Copies of this chain bind each other. A is one copy, B any other.
Amino acid sequence: MKMIYTSFDDAVSDINDGSTIMVGGFGLVGIPENLILALVDSEVKHLTVISNNCGVDDWGLGLLLKNKQIDKMIGSYVGENKEFERQVLSGELEVELTPQGTLAERIRAGGSGIPAFYTPAGVGTPIAESGEIREFDNREYLLQTALKADFSLVRAAVGDQDGNLVYNKTAQNFNPMMAAAGKVTIAEVEQLVETGTIDPNHVHTPGIYVQRLIEGKQEKRIERLTIRDEA
Across the interface, do A117 and B120 meet the contact criterion of CB distance under 8 Å? Answer: no
Minimum CB–CB distance for A135 against chain B, Å:
9
Q: Which residues of chain B are within 8 angstroms of A113 by Cβ–Cβ distance?
A: 119-120
* A105, A118, A134: most-surrounded residue (chain B CB, <10 A): A118
Among the stretches A16-24, A25-33, A54-62, A165-173, the one at the interface with B is A165-173
Tell me whether A141 is interfacial, beta carbon within 8 Å. yes
Interface size class of A (residues with CB under 8 A): 20 to 34
Across the interface, do A105 and B114 meet the contact criterion of CB distance under 8 Å? Answer: yes
For A202, give its contact among B115, B141, B201 (CB under 8 Å).
Answer: B201
Chain A residues 111-125 with CB under 8 Å of chain B are: 112-120
A169-B200, A169-B201 given; 19 more Cβ-contact pairs under 8 Å: A105-B112, A105-B114, A113-B119, A113-B120, A114-B118, A114-B119, A115-B136, A115-B137, A115-B139, A115-B141, A116-B117, A116-B118, A116-B141, A117-B117, A117-B118, A167-B201, A168-B201, A201-B202, A202-B202
Q: Can you identify 28 A-B contacts, CB atoms within 8 angstroms?
A: A105-B112, A105-B114, A109-B117, A113-B119, A113-B120, A114-B117, A114-B118, A114-B119, A115-B118, A115-B136, A115-B137, A115-B139, A115-B141, A116-B117, A116-B118, A116-B134, A116-B136, A116-B141, A117-B117, A117-B118, A136-B145, A166-B201, A167-B201, A168-B201, A169-B200, A169-B201, A201-B202, A202-B202
